[in-house]
A and B are shown apart, each in its own frame.
Chain A
């Protein structure tokens, strides 16, 4: 089991472009979580998804950010019209179930907006 895979590892975008971050959970895991780590800060919860469902998006900015976890394929975190303040490390985690279960993290995608 290769673990949670995120790609790309590094992503550079110009202001106004779109950023797409991908996350393939561990085999057998149907729960995916996205976290964002701004410079000099701790990880902050963004969104929790199960296959084809958004369960909790209370940590997502209200505009420009969206997430999906389709029936087939990886989970995608999409940021439209990126701004400099979106520069951060974005981490994905997965677990086989939601409660009282260890979540396994990917290595993160470092987004830089220039």
Chain B
């Protein structure tokens, strides 16, 4: 069975501090991992996917198959990064995503 675990429900950091949002997954096949973000009063939107290996808004995430993790990192958090972040797993077909419960990130001034 597919499972995504985001152990932190809430994460609070100060502006300029590094931030890491944790995501662990369970899947027997070849995983496709995504990070989605939902800013206040806005819709869920794709932040990045592991196959792209790109950096979006300063965020990066590396798939570690040995540790079954896909942690989201940013070296210097900004106040506008405050949002709900969801890690999602696509197995075999992207449309059938399994989401974690989300981490609410608050970046304090």
A residues with CB within 8 A of B? 3-4, 31, 33, 35, 40-45, 48, 56, 58-59, 91, 95, 98-108
Where the two chains meet, the residues of B that have a C-beta atom closer than 8 Å to any C-beta of A are 4, 36, 42-46, 49, 86, 88, 93-102
A104 CB, nearest partner CB in chain B, Å:
8
A-B CB pair tally, cutoff 8 Å: 57
What is the bound-complex CA distance between A114 and B7, given in angstroms? Answer: 32
Give min CB distance, B57 to chain A, whole Å.
16
Docked-complex contact B43 and A105, CB < 8 angstroms: yes
**Which residue of B95, B98, B100 contacts A103 across the interface (Cβ within 8 Å)?**
B95
Give B44's nearest chain A residue, CB to CB.
Answer: A105
Q: A42 contacts B98, CB within 8 Å?
A: yes
Given A42-B4, A42-B99, A107–B43 Cβ distance below 8 Å? yes
